[in-house]
Amino acid sequence: MITANRSDVGRIRHINEDRSWVGQLDNGITLAIVADGMGGHQAGDVASQLAVNTFRDMLEKSASKADLSMQEGKMLIRQALVMANDVVYDMASRNEQYYNMGTTIVAALYREQQLIIGHIGDSRAYLITADGIAQLTEDHTLVNELVKSGQISLEEAAHHPRRNVITRAVGTDAQVEVDIYTAALSDNDVLLLCSDGLTNMVSDEEMLQTVREEGLGLDDKADRLIQLALQAGGDDNVTVVLLQEESAAYRGGDNG
Give the per-residue pLDDT at 156: 84
Position 251 pLDDT exceeds 70: no
CB of 192 closer than 8 Å to CB of 226 = no
CA pair distance 95, 194, nearest whole angstrom = 29
Give the per-residue pLDDT at 28: 92
User: Cα 1–169–227 angle (5° rounding)?
Assistant: 50
Give the pLDDT confidence of 47-57 residue by residue, as tens digits: 999 999 999 99
Give the per-residue pLDDT at 144: 86
Give the per-residue pLDDT at 66: 85
Give the pLDDT confidence of 178-216 residue by residue, as tens digits: 999 999 999 889 999 999 999 999 999 999 999 999 999
Give the per-residue pLDDT at 159: 80
CB of 243 closer than 8 Å to CB of 107 = no
CA pair distance 111, 185, nearest whole angstrom = 9
Average pLDDT, the chain: 93
For residue 58, give the amino acid letter. Answer: M
Position 248 pLDDT exceeds 70: no
Give the per-residue pLDDT at 178: 98
Would you say the C-alpha torsion 55, 21, 114, 111 has a positive or negative sign?
A: negative
Q: State the pLDDT confidence band at 249, using cuts at 50, 70 and 90.
A: low
CATH number given to 2-130+168-254:
3.60.40.10
Give the pLDDT confidence of 113-152 residue by residue, as tens digits: 999 999 999 999 999 999 999 999 999 999 888 988 999 8
Domains of the chain, by residue range, sit at 2-130+168-254
CA pair distance 19, 86, nearest whole angstrom = 18
Give the per-residue pLDDT at 255: 39
pTM, 2 dp: 0.93
Q: Residue range 78-103: average pLDDT? A: 96
Give the pLDDT confidence of 9-46 residue by residue, as tens digits: 999 999 999 999 999 999 999 999 999 999 876 799 99
Backbone angles phi, psi at 205, to 5 degrees: -65, -40
